[in-house]
A and B are shown apart, each in its own frame.
Chain A
Amino acid sequence: MDELKALEELARQARKEEPPVRGVTARVLAEIRSRRRFRVWPLSVFAAASAVAASVLLAVAVHYWTSAPDPLTELCASFEVTELW
């Protein structure tokens, strides 16, 4: 008997083997649910978080814009209009 014939005999026996694995149905479903959540979750949360962040930034900017003295007004205030003429 040559090596390849021997391998074929081994393969014939090996095909009868039953794998000693446990059921994975529960794990598959858990993984599917987590992926589904992951796929929907970031888009909606990202959109909401972006809207909140944009509003806060806008409020802060408006606050500083209105409360701080205008640098152009301050610059002009030091000149007498007549002096310019």
Chain B
Amino acid sequence: MDETDWTDIRASLAGDDDAFARLVERYEPQVARLMWRFSRDRVQCEELIQDVFVEAYLSLKSYRGDAPFLHWLRRIGTRVGYRFWKKRAKDKGRVPLSEVQGLAGKPEETDPALAGELLDALLAQLRPADRLVLTLEYLEGCSMKEIAERTGWNVAAVKMRAHRARGKLKKIAERDRLLETLPWTN
């Protein structure tokens, strides 16, 4: 546990807003990267980041410090993002893969934003729980144990869900002809 974080957390609990502002500034880039996985709309994403920090502030008393502050923030971020997806599950739009253009000839030359957009278009077709597991696995690089810690689900359930979700995603990718969209797979 970072001593600077502890100092700022204690000061925040005592009512020092500047201390909490320092925590926000310190962890905002990491939280922003996580919340970008949940919404690729800039305004919406900023609202989600704000929700994460406000929720963190309101439950700051419950932070015990047995894990780094960033881990705790990421757990809150995952919960906020998942709640957002569940709320919007009915009105999600679908971006056809054929509309995604400008992919490079090699995977490592592909624009990260374009790769993110393409992946998001595919993952968005899954149910929120399946989407969450695969988003954390593919885009956050989490292990099954880490996904279980972030979501509060047990490891066996996460493994099972990930396995099924991968199968569903493969079918979606086949139906949407993903391999034809990617120049480097031919």
Chain B residues at the A interface, C-beta cutoff of 8 Å: 17, 20-21, 24-25, 28, 32-33, 35-36, 42, 45-46, 49-50, 53-54, 57-58, 107-108, 110-113, 115-116, 118-119, 122, 138-141, 166, 169-170, 173-174, 178-179, 182, 184-185
Q: Which of B25, B54, B115 contacts A13 (CB 8 A)?
A: B115
**By DSSP majority rule, is chain B's interface helix, strand, loop, or mixed?**
helix
Given A14-B112, A15-B141, A7-B53 contact (CB < 8 Å): no
Q: Number of contact residues on A: which range applies?
A: 20 to 34
Chain A residues at the B interface, C-beta cutoff of 8 Å: 1-4, 6-25, 27-29, 31-33, 35
Given A28-B54, A31-B54, A14-B21 contact (CB < 8 Å): no
Given A10-B118, A13-B107, A31-B50, A1-B179 contact (CB < 8 Å): yes
Smallest Cβ-Cβ distance to B186: which chain A residue:
A1
How far apart sit A15 and B138, CA to CA, in the bound complex (Å)?
A: 8
Smallest Cβ-Cβ distance to B185: which chain A residue:
A1
How far apart sit A61 and B173, CA to CA, in the bound complex (Å)?
A: 76
